[in-house]
Structure 1
Amino acid sequence: MQNNVKLARVAMDLTQQQLAKKVGITRQTISLIEKGKYNPTLRLCLEICYVVNKSLDELFWIDKGEKQNEEN
């Protein structure tokens, strides 16, 4: 799943470890989320949004066209 977590994290000058600690998960999970290899729960998405001061749309929105391309 494409997302903007890494961009938002870097803009807040946070390491993966710091973000992970703030949301209560491991650094490895943050890494997987940033790579699009882990699909976080809505609750976790919201926790990340609160920490990096972004909306769900800004971090996790997938355009309909992008979703169709991923399925093909």
Structure 2
Amino acid sequence: MNNRVRELRARYGYSQEALANAIGVTRQTVAAIEKGNYIPSLLLALKICDEFQLKMEDVFWLEGGKHE
């Protein structure tokens, strides 16, 4: 699964720590999601999308999907 979390976080002016606090996880979890080392649960992915006020498909997509 690929994502735009790092890009969106920078665009919205969040540090990893600030985003982590907003969605209820650790900074390390945000870093792992950004690197693609951790696939978030559906609930966590929805929290991330809600924080950026974007649709799921605008933040996360499968390899070989429309964003590649």
- Assess same fold via TM > 0.5: yes
Structural RMSD (CA): 1.3
* 1:45, distance to aligned residue in structure 2 (A): 0.1
Q: Decide which moves more: 1-10 or 13-22.
A: 1-10
- Secondary structure of 2:59's counterpart equals helix
- Match for residue 31 of structure 1? 31
Matches of residues 42-61 of structure 1 in structure 2 within 5 Å? 42-61=42-61
Structure 1 residue aligned with 2:16: 16
Q: Secondary structure at the match of 1:18?
A: helix
Instruction: Return 5+ residue gaps in structure 2 as ranges.
Output: none
| Greater per-residue helix proportion | 1
In structure 2, C-alpha distance between the alignment counterparts of 1:13 and 1:43, rounded to whole Å: 23
Q: Which has the larger radius of gyration?
A: 1
Q: Percent identity?
A: 38
| Corresponding residue for residue 70 of structure 1 | none
Q: Deviations over 1:4-23 (max 9, x none)?
A: 11111111100000000000
Tell me how far 1:39 sits from its aligned partner.
0.8
- Secondary structure in structure 1 of the residue aligned to 2:18: helix
Correspondence for 2:41: 41
Deviation of the 1:2 alpha carbon: 1.5
